[in-house]
Amino acid sequence: MKYCENCGAELEDSAVFCDECGARVETVPQEKAVDSEQSKEAEKQENAVIDTSDKPVEKRKRMIPILCGVIGVLIIAVIVIIIVTVTSRKSNNDENNAKNDLETAVTSETADETVKSTEATTQANNWKKQYIEYLKNVDSKNYGGCEYIYMNNDDIPELMILGSNTAAGNILVTSDNTTIDTKIIASGKMYYAEKSNELYIESGRQGVYAYTIYKISDGKIQEEEVNSYDTSGKTAFVYNRPKTIQQIIDDLSGETAKTNTETLSAASTTKKAIEGSWTSYTGNDPSMEYSSKYTLVFNSDGTVSCKGYKNNHSGNYEVESDGTIVCSFTKCIDSFPPNGPTEIQGYTAKFVLNSDGTLTSPTGSNGTTNWGKNTTWTKVQ
């Protein structure tokens, strides 16, 4: 196949003239044709090689957008993960902050309520502070045991402080949680009904008695003397193992009673209260020695003696934890006519310190002397 050089029409290989324009067509020698064919074939092979070498480049070019897309997707995924993480942390922080704020608010509110409650409790217990301060200044030599009683209708108890002798009397203490009032009341038999706002005192002896009624009005203790009173509905007031002043102070301050030697126990308080001389005189003439007149002496060293008429008993005493006084008389001299002084067998006698400051003996003596279970002993001033 060849072409007309004049008009470019396609000609047969054997054509001499162009069928289109009539121009003469030169004949190409066979060698040239072969060379031409070989040249064309070589060109084709060269182009094939060139085409083959271009294919990886084109493939790489096609991969670039894909890789860019993948990288872009990864970048977007990382950004999304970062955003989600930050948002989640912020959300958690906000939630924790809100929770902490709520807890802080609740704690603050609880603390405020606790403070208010504590202040209210402190104010409600102001009477305790008043009693503590008063008891710290009570003369422990003249006053020993203490006990609570409830005279009026409030829930604040009154204090009854026991005098160690008749002359000292007892002290009645009351508080309305604002003010405190005290009054020394006569020693004697006491009657009262809880929250009746009346305390009856019968004092005196030998048929001569005084009757006094105590009441609380507007935080003050009122005293009224009467000729007599009706004790129906009221019971005789008896100390039920009274506490010491220090024990009451410890109770009021919420502390455990101390156990050191400086702390007064019921036993040591009673021991201090009974030290000295006591008499059981019941006759009309105190200058005369009757068999019914005895002198009982408790010494601070734990020794005791009882003398009456010409009888002389001596020994030692101890005060039990409940305040009971136990006397062991080991040397006993009795005077019985006509034989004169005779040493008799020793014995044990018990005494109790009463709320009115007197002593009584639930045992009496051993029967060789004239003081018995009903004998009342009064401290000699």
Cα–Cα distance for residue pair 168/357, rounded to 1 Å: 9
Give per-residue pLDDT as tens, 365-379: 655 555 666 778 889
**Residue environment code for 330-367, b if the CB has 16+ CB neighbours within 10 A, otherwise e:** eebebeeeeeeeeebeebebebbbbbbbbbebeebbee
Q: Are 225 and 211 in contact (CB under 8 A)?
A: yes
Q: Are 323 and 265 in contact (CB under 8 A)?
A: no
Contacts of 268 (CB under 8 A, 6+ apart): 244, 319
Same domain, 240 and 330: no
Is residue 186, in this structure, part of any structural domain at all? yes
Is residue 77, in this structure, part of any structural domain at all? no
Is residue 203, in this structure, part of any structural domain at all? yes
Q: Are 257 and 247 in contact (CB under 8 A)?
A: yes
> 148 pairs with which residues across the strands?
159
Cα–Cα distance for residue pair 25/6, rounded to 1 Å: 9
Same domain, 155 and 225: yes
Residue type, 336: F
Same domain, 235 and 281: no
Same domain, 274 and 183: no
Residue type, 72: G
Residue type, 183: K
Cα–Cα distance for residue pair 334/87, rounded to 1 Å: 107
Is residue 157, in this structure, part of any structural domain at all? yes
Give per-residue pLDDT as tens, 28-59: 555 554 455 565 665 566 555 445 445 555 66
Residue type, 108: S
Same domain, 233 and 172: yes
The encoded tokens of residue 144 equal 């020993």
Is residue 15, in this structure, part of any structural domain at all? no
Same domain, 273 and 363: yes
Same domain, 150 and 192: yes
The encoded tokens of residue 371 equal 């003081």
Range of the domain at 362: 267-379
The domain total for the chain is 2
Residue 110's pLDDT is: 62
Residue 171's pLDDT is: 92
Same domain, 240 and 282: no
The encoded tokens of residue 79 equal 């950004």
The encoded tokens of residue 202 equal 């019968």
Would you state the torsion angle of the CA atoms of residues 71, 74, 76, 77, taken in this order, to the nearest 10 degrees?
170
Residue 182's pLDDT is: 94
Please, what is the average pLDDT of the chain?
76
Give per-residue pLDDT as tens, 220-249: 999 888 877 777 767 666 555 567 888 888
Indicate the helix (H) or strand (E) that contains 159: strand 158-163
Which single residue is written with the structure tokens 């990864």?
A: 74
The encoded tokens of residue 357 equal 């400051």
What 3-state DSSP class applies to 203?
strand
Cα–Cα distance for residue pair 329/215, rounded to 1 Å: 45
H-only helix segments in 125-278: 126-136, 245-253, 266-274
Residue 298's pLDDT is: 94
Residue 48's pLDDT is: 54
CA 133 distance to own-chain centroid: 23
Stretches in the chain below the pLDDT threshold 50: 33-34, 49-50, 52-53, 256-263, 288-289, 291
Cα–Cα distance for residue pair 333/340, rounded to 1 Å: 10
Domain final residue pick, 184, 212, 245: 245
Q: What is the pTM of this model?
A: 0.39
Cα distances (angstroms) measured from residue 145 to each of 107, 157, 194, 232, 377? 46, 16, 20, 27, 18
**Residue environment code for 191-209, b if the CB has 16+ CB neighbours within 10 A, otherwise e:** bbbeeeebbbbbbeeeeee
The CATH code of the domain that includes 303 is 2.40.128.640
